[in-house]
Amino acid sequence: MVTEKTLLAFDFGTKTIGVAVGQTISYSANPLTELKARDGIPNWVEIEALVQEWRPNLLLVGLPLNMDGSYSDLTRRAEKFGKRLHGRLGLQVEMVDERLSSFEAKGEIIERSGSRDFKQQGVDALAAKLILDSWLSAAQNSVAD
């Protein structure tokens, strides 16, 4: 049985890190914000403030694997970001396969707004929500089994 948890999910990027929040009571997730990063390094004060506000039990980080499942430089950097989150915050971190999450997020934005101007549309926060949705779906399915 999955215990009640609040989760923060991160869509790691070198310029922007999308963040979403969700919980296992209703198995729902929402895009939260996008944080600026300098070469993959976030403003840790902003992340700590989000953790203080939402008090998550678990942090999820999207793992950007290649379509064949192999690692890229970005995959290794996302893993390093996950390790830093754990080291700085002392919270459990799980890596979640996020193949195609940004592509899906862009598709949702086009469908919703008709626009391909992704700069103002929150693609990375929506991608973080999709990462969290996939984790919640797997958790819900494991409860049903």
Domain ranges of the chain: 6-144
Q: Model-level pTM?
A: 0.85
One of 3.40.50.2300, 3.20.20.70, 3.10.310.70, 3.30.420.140 is the CATH number of 6-144, namely 3.30.420.140
Alpha helical stretches, state H, the chain: 44-54, 73-89, 101-113, 123-144
For tokens 């993959």, what's the residue?
40
User: What pLDDT is stored for residue 1 in this prediction?
Assistant: 47
Asked if 59 contacts 95 with a C-beta cutoff of 8 angstroms, the reply is no
What is the structure's pLDDT at 105? 59
Q: Show pLDDT as tens, one digit a residue, over the chain (145 residues).
A: 457 899 999 999 999 999 999 999 999 999 999 999 999 999 999 999 999 999 999 999 999 888 788 899 999 999 999 999 999 999 999 999 886 556 565 566 566 656 556 555 578 888 899 999 989 988 877 765 5
3-state secondary structure at position 133: helix
